[in-house]
A and B are shown apart, each in its own frame.
Chain A
């Protein structure tokens, strides 16, 4: 009763009146199936009251609204309602639903105790302490499906807390050690002779030859291991390969390989990728940076599928006088390697400043003349940065007491300080987003912006604006969004967002059949993600229209990708790595023709129009596809190609209950059947004459026919509003940590309208989204 009164007061609607107004329409178009007797789809509208203040009831009516608005209901075989009648019905229903949803939103908020993701935690701790050691993998893993930022997907348990306790200790140890004892200096040059000089044991390393060193391609594992480069301690290292050129590059003048690190031996067999390497006949010096574990070494060699393999005897190579270049073997030839330890995040001076601020280093052990006051001050500063808002004395008290108690019990100043910092890093104020229901305050806005676009705590500029209460000024807010987006750190946003929005995180979930897809070697597979990330980055940076997600005049390719896509006439300079190219009509373009997306939506051996169709609907068109009914068996793929998957799926078009979803799923899936599991274009499902032909034609849910992928794509290029709305929803859901709700509709419509006025640019969409009430409310 109270809820009802509240509802009426807040919204001005009388639910009983609303229900009366809906009656005529429901009687004419719904009760036939949805009454107490037939109860189709378990929905009895006849007896359903209108109680928007009750969540479950409201959600049912939202469902009714959505089905009626999209035209799905009444079903096609029934009489269509007159346009006017439908419009009135929707209008009557919409406003009270929005009002009710919004009322709940303002009271309880939608994002409940969202926790930092592993990446957000790592970056925040790195920024607080000036360290660079990988921490994310030590925490309990984030949700693997949906957005990791979604609070409803996040759990908390003693496992998580124990990990936070442990990992913070590791981080603090690194930071305090660097501050108090110094950084490790390590820089070594390895000459050709040192690298190619095999001393004892099983030799799989490069060959010293005519004053230089050559790493030959061999399929034998761990060939290319350079024992001399074993590093003494875990850390970040910069690797420079001097004057690298290719011996026997391919006909197009390039040779690709890999730079990996690992133990180099089979009893600890994993190798970690530091980078793919392209060499040509022209020597170039190339640099790579990556994390290496203690005792691990570099493993460096050409690494393409079609190369001739060097065969060692008994798993070892003895290089003699034979000129392997003359026998057609491919090699990476270089003069020396430099390995240098680096601290990419902060130097020692900065670490010291972060921990001790302006304290004189000679006072580090004691805390100076006023250790208590100094401790208290440093803790206030650290907590305020970690909690990203001003901290009250009451809040600070337990941390300060902890530190002071340590000091008094005889611990050193750094030990006491560290104990307080440790506790701060375990606080829910650090680990979660503390937001009150209703409009967010400036500090909460700064946090949401920073964790979205830089995946870390807000920097001093954002914080100052928050302290000065200026972040709700639209001009300033837009300026900050532009600043954050334009900074290299926004790459973290691109990487994390595309990993989850486009499912790139599952790129390696399956391995393509190595017999059928021999060319899917490491240089190719490791190029896939980068292509998509670079493409999306450019579309946002240039504020290109959202339709360019589907078809664009630019692309980013290296020589391997160009060849994979068979775009022979595209000019890509060998040795130039990834290059921006101008695509011509007839060239494949857009996300859906990129090998990364095509691979993720396949399983390594076969494509699935269903998987691809669902992917396109959910992630590009903004249409949610519910999971299949429980008793539907999986399709058994026939990769001999005789019976095409289209034949096998014909049942969907023939059954009305299946069709209701499959009319939406199948079209884009069939259109994409022109691309195989690793993204190559195909016209048949096999190479034999008897192989079934690909039939990429279909009909969209609104009845438009297409002959193939280009035709399908053109239909959606004409719907930029749909694409813009879908993209806005993805960014917002990811950025706030929750799904969209019914009352978001007017705001989403406004975002799309603003985008439409400015060419539907992706940058514009992001700006509109992040300045909308959706983003600025709990």
Chain B
């Protein structure tokens, strides 16, 4: 008899768990109840992942350190040179499988081909689990083309992504209808009245049982109270109006993958600016690039270039546009004085899409208050563990993490 243990829930319940679930407000009154002291300027993380890699010879500068000569792709980013670091010679230890490694981009989990392969929690979900209760949405999981994502929950379940930029905008910035709000309030109230009953049951039970059980039941009672507070806070969000931001970003050209990225990245910026969420992943998986001038093949076909000069030329157009889009996010964040509070990584599971190699992953890392403006070059034949970057990110958020996945420490050379 076989039971697979993933995604047993109907879609709407799963979406409740996804980054679209209700979180808690950052209310001063709540701070003592939740113990941990929150930094004055909360920090954020945006992970952008690509399915088809970035051509390393065009991305990675030939020299290293703070005085690196910009590579072809990085020439147009020199106005924000001090805002990001280009990292080479890293990958996730033990992660193989070419395209299959997509699932491990943010979890770094070396899932074997054994009978019980399962994924571990991804970086963004780990952050959301511990710090996500401060915003309306604990996290956002996005994909330009489908609902699959590299964001995985603690139980190893893939979080379905939002793939419609207009729906995303509506969820973030358009108030729910009165009927929808009524329904949400009912659910919250239902939970509260149940906890009310549980609370009195537990108290009554304490009187019935022996002294040994009383201590345990006391823990129950405390847990019920904790949950009641959280449910109350949830209810407060329902009636709180969503932030007003003006017009939605213009709809993207479906045949232009970098433009679809743009539509999402613009909305991501608004989400960060309004503190609607602090942990976001965007998976760039669209294959359509023909609308780009000079490109007449599919993205997948170009990425598997086999060293063909013509394909590489077209690939460069696509990849430059992609990197420029990510850089624009950094520029916007800088302009809004949010860059030092927001870390962003642009990476892919493929270091070489043409040969399906998962080593030497392309990594651009910006923001967060680090001292950027350098090329951190690790060993391309004996890769440095990329999870170390993830650990640095966690500590940058103020989390007391000693490791993440297969990290061996924080990232060398990243200050």
Counting chain B CB atoms within 10 Å of each CB, the highest count among A112, A293, A294, A508 belongs to A112
Contact B146 A267 (CB under 8 A): yes
Contact A161 B195 (CB under 8 A): yes
Is the C-beta of A18 less than 8 angstroms from some C-beta in chain B?
A: no
| Stretch from A82-90, A131-139, A540-548, A586-594 forming part of the interface with B | A131-139
Main secondary structure of the interface of A (DSSP, over half): mixed
Is the C-beta of A173 less than 8 angstroms from some C-beta in chain B?
A: yes
Provide the A502-535 mask, 1 if CB < 8 A to any CB of B, else 0: 0000011001000000000010011000000000
| Stretch from A278-286, A419-427, A470-478, A716-724 forming part of the interface with B | A419-427
Is the C-beta of A359 less than 8 angstroms from some C-beta in chain B?
A: no
Q: Which of chain A's residues has its CB closest to B4's CB?
A: A272
- A433-453 residues at the B interface, CB under 8 angstroms: 434-437
Is the C-beta of A653 less than 8 angstroms from some C-beta in chain B?
A: no
Contact A525 B115 (CB under 8 A): yes
Among A169, A291, A426, contact of B4 (Cβ-Cβ < 8 Å): A291
Among B51, B102, B211, contact of A269 (Cβ-Cβ < 8 Å): B102
Residues of A within 8 A of B230 (CB): 158, 162
Contact B100 A108 (CB under 8 A): no
A334 to B215, CA, bound (A): 61
Given the contacts A267-B285, A268-B103, A423-B198, A436 and B8 also touching, CB distance less than 8 Å:
no
How many contacts between A and B, using CB within 8 angstroms?
179
- B217-245 residues at the A interface, CB under 8 angstroms: 217, 219-220, 223-224, 226-227, 230
- B182-228 residues at the A interface, CB under 8 angstroms: 190-191, 193-195, 197-198, 200-202, 205, 208-213, 215-217, 219-220, 223-224, 226-227
Given the contacts A109-B212, A112-B213, A134 and B8 also touching, CB distance less than 8 Å:
yes
Residues of B within 8 A of A398 (CB): 197, 200-201
Contact-residue size bin, chain B (C-beta under 8 Å from the other chain): 35 or more
Q: Which of chain B's residues has its CB closest to A273's CB?
A: B115
Is the C-beta of B119 less than 8 angstroms from some C-beta in chain A?
A: yes
Is the C-beta of B99 less than 8 angstroms from some C-beta in chain A?
A: yes
Residues of A within 8 A of B99 (CB): 266-267, 269
Is the C-beta of A390 less than 8 angstroms from some C-beta in chain B?
A: no
A289 to B227, CA, bound (A): 38
Among B11, B158, B194, B210, contact of A426 (Cβ-Cβ < 8 Å): B194
Among B7, B119, B202, B213, contact of A109 (Cβ-Cβ < 8 Å): B213
Contact A134 B198 (CB under 8 A): no
Residues of A within 8 A of B100 (CB): 221, 266, 269
Given the contacts A157-B226, A428-B217, A429-B205, A134 and B114 also touching, CB distance less than 8 Å:
no
Is the C-beta of A165 less than 8 angstroms from some C-beta in chain B?
A: yes
Q: A165: shortest Cβ distance to chain B, in Å?
A: 6
Contact A151 B216 (CB under 8 A): yes
Residues of B within 8 A of A155 (CB): 219
Among B4, B97, B202, contact of A293 (Cβ-Cβ < 8 Å): B4
Q: Which of chain B's residues has its CB closest to A177's CB?
A: B10
Q: Which of chain B's residues has its CB closest to A167's CB?
A: B9
Residues of B within 8 A of A402 (CB): 193, 197
Given the contacts A113-B217, A269-B100, A157 and B190 also touching, CB distance less than 8 Å:
no
Residues of A within 8 A of B102 (CB): 266-267, 269
Residues of A within 8 A of B190 (CB): 419, 422
Contact A436 B212 (CB under 8 A): no
Residues of A within 8 A of B191 (CB): 165
Contact B6 A293 (CB under 8 A): yes
Residues of A within 8 A of B146 (CB): 267
Contact B155 A141 (CB under 8 A): yes
Contact A291 B194 (CB under 8 A): no
Residues of B within 8 A of A778 (CB): 210
Q: Which of chain A's residues has its CB closest to B146's CB?
A: A267
Contact A160 B205 (CB under 8 A): no
A170 to B9, CA, bound (A): 7
Interface residues of A (CB under 8 A from B): 107-110, 112-113, 133-138, 141, 151, 155-158, 160-162, 165-166, 169-170, 173, 221, 234, 261, 263, 266-275, 288-294, 395, 398-399, 402, 419, 422-423, 426-429, 434-437, 507-508, 511, 522, 525-526, 778
30 A-B pairs in the complex with CB atoms less than 8 angstroms apart: A109-B212, A110-B212, A141-B155, A156-B219, A156-B223, A157-B223, A161-B198, A166-B13, A234-B10, A269-B103, A269-B111, A270-B111, A270-B119, A272-B6, A273-B2, A274-B2, A290-B3, A291-B2, A292-B4, A293-B4, A294-B7, A398-B200, A426-B194, A426-B198, A428-B198, A434-B205, A434-B208, A437-B210, A525-B114, A525-B115
Q: Knowing that A156-B216, A161-B224 are A-B contacts, what are 15 other residue pairs whose CB atoms are under 8 Å apart, sorted by A's residue number?
A: A109-B210, A155-B219, A156-B219, A234-B10, A270-B103, A270-B111, A273-B2, A290-B1, A294-B7, A423-B197, A426-B197, A436-B210, A437-B212, A525-B115, A778-B210
Ranked 8 nearest A-B pairs via Cβ: A272-B4, A290-B2, A113-B216, A108-B212, A266-B99, A158-B226, A437-B210, A508-B116
